[in-house]
């Protein structure tokens, strides 16, 4: 647009955070393809009576019309729609954006997932929020939001608030009507990770009825069989998990002890026992429980990480390092493991190495509370 830009700012533009609203002059009226030749919105006509929102660059207070671009206009429209999906001009702005950039769903979804993969969950969720304004209620976007929140919760370990937000996101998927099989399938694995095997079983059984992808059908059937074979949907197991998660470790240990009397070969039970023991500071007992979990098939990054914490607190720093490095192979961008390597480096007096680990954590998750507390720059 630059010097030949047909848009002119209102003398006293309305502001909404970093948004400026522009009036539409005569030169911008007509079909969108005559103004934006690269657009694919044939048939869309710009309404001169509706102001155009423009997002200002960070730190900018005044719009420089010489710098105005379609990106700023589209960003402004998306921001307005995301903040007020039912607004007076929301549907018009949606059509405007899609007319100029019809592939925006694929492009922005890819960008959001890439940001999440790199640990920038805040920006990833912001991008998904903008898309949800353009495509309200789209099941695929609800699923991507849930997956990003799940990754964020996993990275923040026992941060219960993050876990609850992810849980609510999956519940929203399960409440969709008509049902969304892909969301139900992924919800099953989310509940598995939360040790909520009863809800996981229900999700997988529902997917077996509704899903149509053979590979996922097979996976769902295997999950149902595993849950039932190891009695993981036992109510006592769930009660024990809830107690330990809610910092009632002693009660949880008693319940999981009863569970293990009936199902001594279930590695999940031994993991849960170790988790409770670790929370009570019973490091050596926790070590035994986690090693039993690994022996019975629970050789996961979470188990290794928990075992490392017990080893670290018991003074076995070499053993702790070995377990954390093993866990890191499975989750190379898992901030809780990298953070624990930083804490271990501090304990062994290697301040430079510790700073490197915490710096990496903050690159993956700038809001990580542990790294922020230890790393001062």
For residue 24, what is the DSSP state? -
Nearest C-alpha neighbor of 204 from the set 230, 178, 225, 229 = 225
Listed as ranges, residues in the chain with pLDDT below 50 are 1-16, 34-40, 158-159
For the stretch 327-376, pLDDT in tens is 988 877 788 899 999 999 999 999 999 999 998 888 877 777 778 777 76
Phi, psi (rounded to 5 degrees) for 15: -120, 145
Report which of 238, 271, 230, 267 is spatially closest to residue 255, judged by C-alpha positions: 238
Domains present along the chain, CATH in parentheses: 2-100 (no CATH), 139-229 (1.25.40.10), 234-316 (1.25.40.10), 333-377 (no CATH)
Q: What is the pLDDT of residue 17?
A: 52
Q: What pLDDT does residue 275 have?
A: 95
Angular region, 195: left φ>0, alpha ψ -120 to 50, beta rest:
left
Give the Cα separation of 338 and 6 in Å (integer).
52
Q: The tokens of 231 are what?
A: 């009695």
Q: What is the pLDDT at residue 35?
A: 47
What pLDDT is attached to residue 283?
Answer: 96
């Amino acid at each position: 647009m630059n010097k030949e830009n047909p848009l002119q700012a209102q003398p006293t533009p309305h502001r909404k955070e970093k948004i400026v609203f522009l009036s539409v002059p005569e030169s911008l009226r007509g079909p969108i393809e005559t103004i934006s030749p690269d657009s694919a919105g044939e048939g869309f006509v710009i309404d001169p009576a509706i102001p155009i929102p423009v997002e200002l660059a960070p730190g900018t207070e005044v719009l420089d019309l010489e710098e105005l671009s379609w990106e700023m206009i589209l960003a402004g429209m998306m921001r307005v729609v995301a903040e007020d999906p039912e607004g007076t001009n929301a549907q018009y702005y949606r059509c405007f954006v899609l007319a100029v950039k019809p592939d925006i769903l694929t492009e922005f979804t890819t960008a959001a997932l890439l940001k999440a993969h790199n640990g920038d969950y805040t920006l990833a969720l912001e991008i998904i929020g903008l898309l949800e304004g353009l495509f309200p209620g789209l099941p695929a976007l609800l699923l991507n939001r849930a997956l990003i929140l799940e990754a964020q919760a996993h990275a923040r370990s026992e941060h219960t608030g993050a876990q609850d937000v992810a849980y609510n996101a999956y519940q929203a998927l399960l409440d969709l009507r008509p049902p969304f099989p892909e969301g139900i399938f992924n919800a099953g694995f989310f509940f598995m990770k939360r040790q909520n095997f009863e809800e996981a079983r229900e999700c997988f059984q529902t997917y077996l009825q509704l899903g149509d992808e053979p590979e996922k059908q097979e996976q769902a059937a295997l999950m149902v069989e595993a849950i039932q074979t190891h009695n993981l949907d036992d109510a006592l197991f769930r009660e024990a998990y809830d107690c330990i998660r809610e910092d009632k470790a002693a009660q949880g240990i008693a319940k999981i002890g009863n569970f293990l009397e009936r199902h001594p070969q279930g590695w999940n039970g031994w993991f849960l026992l170790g988790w409770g023991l670790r929370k009570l500071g019973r490091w050596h007992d926790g070590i035994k429980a986690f090693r039993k979990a690994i022996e019975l098939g629970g050789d996961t990054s979470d188990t290794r990480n928990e075992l490392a914490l017990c080893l670290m607190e018991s003074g076995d720093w070499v053993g702790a390092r070995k377990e954390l490095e093993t866990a890191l192979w499975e989750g190379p961008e898992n901030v809780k493991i990298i953070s624990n390597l930083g804490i271990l480096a501090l304990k062994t007096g290697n301040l430079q190495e510790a700073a490197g680990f915490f710096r990496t954590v903050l690159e993956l998750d700038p809001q990580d509370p542990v790294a922020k507390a230890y790393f001062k720059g």
